[in-house]
Structure 1
């Protein structure tokens, strides 16, 4: 029997069935007078395996609690106090700012006016028509941000469900063999579209600004500071919550396994997160797993600022320099992948890897979540922004090149075809072929995103652009940052409060996706109005010395 288990488990699409992943209510399942809880649990499992003439030894005990060990405040109350004070200050500022604006007006003190809940609500729900040519050109980006974020939520919902105690592990094992699972295995690089969009928007707006006012390298510190202020408030607020009150926000058999350890890491690595270097120092110890993207965004933004500011006065040279750096970055990642034997996530997304959150998998922690892994996407975003403005200055329009128009129109099918090509590429298992694929996988997604971005901003009309440019996307798109930092905590909590083994299915996962998405966007509204918008506006008002941010 054990040989059969080993043979079955040797297929990476299956769980490791030689390792029992169990959660037992020991008091009701195995009556014992043993006082040591660890021994009681081990003997409880042994009682059941010995019926099959097999022996089980305890490999790791993740948690053990009795019903009498209720959650309570720890001796160290400082994290709870600090977070409570921060939230209290934010609420007071919003109350004072709202009252001041209502009774006095914000003309005398624009800083207080930034904290008006009423004004921030109006900014949140405001939509724009196509009268502004710049906003109209960028309008499809709003829909793309919402669509991509929902896909990220779906991926994280599936991933967290691998960590639960499930009654039907064969569901995930069968799903791994389903040809459609390639969209999950080979689609993770779609997050690179966010990197392309982020750096394109920065360069696009800065280049447009440079046509009106003088821009120099002296703007580098302010540009970097603005990005940090853009991200930090909601990010650090959520980090503080996870390090403190999140521990008391629920309970269940899995709470000590999924919530408490992550909360401990949030405390230990708080300042590494605050300075956006947590993905470079002990990356395997994660808090807010999705926050690697925020760290990478800031790290790459520094590079993007520097390149854009030093090349801003010579568009043609900028295209050649950035294009050359893009090619070099692809070769760099291929070379590193060959040296360190990194693999694409397509080769790694096995049930056991998902259940253990890529424990010991250097390909994930030292490539996927690093700035050099996303550097090609950053450079491609800058390249498209410079190319777009240069073409505009030369009087060139994308419709002048018919093959490019046809390529733009089939970009979405090309993206799907690239994902499906994983069925063929997954058979390339030599070290050099996997290293080559690492060098082109993310850049390919980035190139497709860049093509769609270029055509959309050049107002090349098709069904995809019309759908992404729908005005209804504008409000949820503004909530994207808040949803990004919120959704995984919500999803983890939904799973961690389960009191029994669950039966998973497509329907059950769909319910989790709906619950997580709805709750994330719902909670993102007050976070946006009370934290993100007022702090951003305060920063801009201070920099512009009292002038309103338009």
Structure 2
């Protein structure tokens, strides 16, 4: 019954998705297309003494004046939802695929001529647009037996790691010896026991004003999970794909806008961060005179808290990451990103990585990584400029590098200034937020910036999160490189300034409600407020999904207007929901987000969010064959239904012969290279439920399903 219910549910989901798809070519016509991606057997190739493996991209041109196939590819590529099919990406074992070219000493020319031999039978002429690498058997053996010596950055990373571990040991030992002595020194902050207590503490008996902010923790964790899930999906499809047509088809689904326009969700974090900063400072100014002398401390405290984890992960990516994996795609993707991290490491130290060479991104999460946690902090002033920390109350803070660090300085200074003029604060913040939105729209009009929804298409290499800009001379892994709207609008602090000001506005509104003793639940119009509050999450989703229709209007004035309103409207909706949630307008979502289990998860979020990209990239980029993108993964299905581990002899997901069955593939004529299994098609054994779901996925989406299913 459980399996039937799951199958029925997935049938409904898939049927709903299928309704949004469109068939642009017939299956017979599509079968004539050359594969967009192809990889020969990397390990087997370099195991031979004369082995030579090359990875690169080719631009196609017709071999003759008139080529029906090329005309079809060119016409197919004009559709925004389609990949550029006139550029192909290949990993060839040149030594065995084109053995007759062994006399050619120039490896790039040899690679190009080898591709030309295959393409000639299709009436096409490839030209090498980008060579990622050509690797020989001798180089592979040398790398395996004589790895490169450690350089200075790699040694420094080891020294820093050893110092951190030593401090953990010393801090834990000191904490155990001194027990609960209140006069412990700073060394106890490195104690594993002390940090475990902080991780699992709930602070339920703290200040009720701050306890009301508990649901924010759950909201943040939920949004974090969605962001990390999106990044995981991005990695799966930013590499070589076995079935790019599935991406082309599913990209038409309106619901996908929640992922394509996911950068707007970051605005909720910006709003939350500055709301909590502003509210924190307002609580402090109740008993102390606001002073700009606090601003340096606020900045230093923020950097000191976030930098260790942040810089440690960036340092790892810049030094040891390339040594942690291998495979045909590894150096072209993880290796290339690591080189960017090393070159731009100093910009991460000063939190200006989104302003210096913004086209080159090291770890996508670092431009807007969000981390929030509870900390016990307040200031006591001694004299004019002296202060120290005291344990007095529970304060909720947000942390994330780059954009928010830059806005944090602005918000801190603005909060301290407006705290002296609370009577005019709301009006001034409203005017500033409106001015920031207008400024963003004006800049968008002058520099022709657009919302991400206008270039969230496979045509521009956008697969789930726009990680492949497939222009003729660009790297596959470009992370929106060359799109100024992303570099100078979405990554820039002025693009998020309105959300920052709206967060401060919400903080002042909430503080004034508390100070005046106004109970939102006792207002005359509370009935309508509750209805509006309950509808706000739906309005947030609806506003994001509206991008599906709004991107149909491309007049300059309209795109600029949409840029001016897109993020502020989302931030206003989120701020309204936040104010209702912490002022007693209860609903099931508020109760869910108040669960005490979110506390520990929230405190771990920065660490998890920082490392998830490297871990997922290690898994995906180390694969020896193109990735199969699908709504239903057979591997995930096995885990969900059985809860057990997959064994290679029990489940072999075959793309074997996939290239041979695909008429435009790279097998057959040039040495019979198969995509996944050189020994031929394999028999796949899987539970009936998984078999049905996989075939269902194939039938509805018309994916390239060349799997052979049998029941043993």
Counterpart in the other structure of 2:409 = 302
Counterpart in the other structure of 1:404 = 529
How big is each residue's C-alpha offset from its partner over 1:167-198, in whole Å with a ceiling of 9 and x where there is no partner? 21101100111222222223430111110111
Q: Contact (CA 8 Å) 1:316, 1:390: kept in 2 or not?
A: no
1:98 equivalenced with 2:168 (yes/no): no
**Residue 130 of structure 1: how far off its partner (Å):** 6.0
Question: Which of 80, 101, 114 is residue 154 of structure 2 equivalent to?
Answer: 80
Counterpart in the other structure of 1:522 = none
**Residue 428 of structure 1: how far off its partner (Å):** 1.1
Q: Which moved more, 1:101-110 or 1:19-28?
A: 101-110
**Residue 382 of structure 1: how far off its partner (Å):** 0.5
Counterpart in the other structure of 1:344 = 451
TM-score by length of 1: 0.90
Q: 2: CA distance between counterparts of 1:29 and 1:501? A: 19
Q: Contact (CA 8 Å) 1:158, 1:509: kept in 2 or not?
A: no
Counterpart in the other structure of 1:89 = 163
Q: Contact (CA 8 Å) 1:124, 1:478: kept in 2 or not?
A: yes
Q: 1: CA distance between counterparts of 2:451 and 2:159? A: 44
**Residue 13 of structure 1: how far off its partner (Å):** 0.7
Counterpart in the other structure of 2:493 = 371
Q: 1: CA distance between counterparts of 2:182 and 2:576? A: 44
Q: 2: CA distance between counterparts of 1:131 and 1:256? A: 51
1:128 equivalenced with 2:203 (yes/no): yes
Answer 1 or 2: which has greater helix percent.
1
Q: 2: CA distance between counterparts of 1:467 and 1:283? A: 38
Counterpart in the other structure of 1:152 = 227
Q: Contact (CA 8 Å) 2:354, 2:492: kept in 1 or not?
A: yes
Give unpaired runs (5+ residues) of structure 2. 1-68, 369-400, 470-478, 641-712
Q: Contact (CA 8 Å) 1:398, 1:405: kept in 2 or not?
A: no
**Residue 509 of structure 1: how far off its partner (Å):** 10
Counterpart in the other structure of 2:85 = 17
Counterpart in the other structure of 1:548 = none
1:50 equivalenced with 2:120 (yes/no): yes
Partner-residue secondary structure (3-state), 1:349: coil
Instruction: Tell me the C-alpha RMSD between the 2 structures.
Output: 2.0
Q: 2: CA distance between counterparts of 1:171 and 1:130? A: 52
Counterpart in the other structure of 1:228 = 303
- Paired positions, count: 514
Counterpart in the other structure of 2:290 = 215
- Give the structure, 1 or 2, with the largest relative contact order (CA under 8 Å, sep 6 or more): 1
Counterpart in the other structure of 1:483 = 608
1:142 equivalenced with 2:217 (yes/no): yes
Q: 2: CA distance between counterparts of 1:12 and 1:161? A: 21
Partner-residue secondary structure (3-state), 1:302: helix
How big is each residue's C-alpha offset from its partner over 1:394-428, in whole Å with a ceiling of 9 and x where there is no partner? 23232313333321111011112112222321211
Q: 1: CA distance between counterparts of 2:557 and 2:163? A: 55
1:167 equivalenced with 2:242 (yes/no): yes
Q: Contact (CA 8 Å) 1:157, 1:509: kept in 2 or not?
A: no
**Residue 108 of structure 1: how far off its partner (Å):** 5.0
Counterpart in the other structure of 1:545 = none
Q: 2: CA distance between counterparts of 1:369 and 1:233? A: 23
Counterpart in the other structure of 2:418 = 311
1:5 equivalenced with 2:73 (yes/no): yes
Matched ranges for 1:139-538 at <5 A: 139-293=214-368, 294-351=401-458, 352-353=461-462, 354=466, 355-356=468-469, 357-399=479-521, 400=523, 401-402=525-526, 403-508=528-633
Q: 2: CA distance between counterparts of 1:40 and 1:22? A: 14
**Residue 216 of structure 1: how far off its partner (Å):** 1.1
Q: Contact (CA 8 Å) 2:432, 2:501: kept in 1 or not?
A: yes
How big is each residue's C-alpha offset from its partner over 1:188-226, in whole Å with a ceiling of 9 and x where there is no partner? 301111101111111111111222333311101001111
TM-score by length of 2: 0.70
Q: 1: CA distance between counterparts of 2:328 and 2:414? A: 51
Give unpaired runs (5+ residues) of structure 1. 516-550
Q: Contact (CA 8 Å) 2:454, 2:551: kept in 1 or not?
A: yes
Q: Contact (CA 8 Å) 1:9, 1:17: kept in 2 or not?
A: yes
Q: Contact (CA 8 Å) 2:237, 2:629: kept in 1 or not?
A: no
1:41 equivalenced with 2:115 (yes/no): no
How big is each residue's C-alpha offset from its partner over 1:140-183, in whole Å with a ceiling of 9 and x where there is no partner? 11111111111111221232233211121101100111222222
Answer 1 or 2: which has greater strand percent.
2
Q: Contact (CA 8 Å) 1:333, 1:373: kept in 2 or not?
A: yes
Question: Which of 66, 69, 73 is residue 136 of structure 2 equivalent to?
Answer: 66
**Residue 67 of structure 1: how far off its partner (Å):** 4.3
**Residue 448 of structure 1: how far off its partner (Å):** 1.3
Q: 1: CA distance between counterparts of 2:483 and 2:313? A: 27
Q: 2: CA distance between counterparts of 1:327 and 1:73? A: 57
Q: Contact (CA 8 Å) 1:83, 1:240: kept in 2 or not?
A: yes
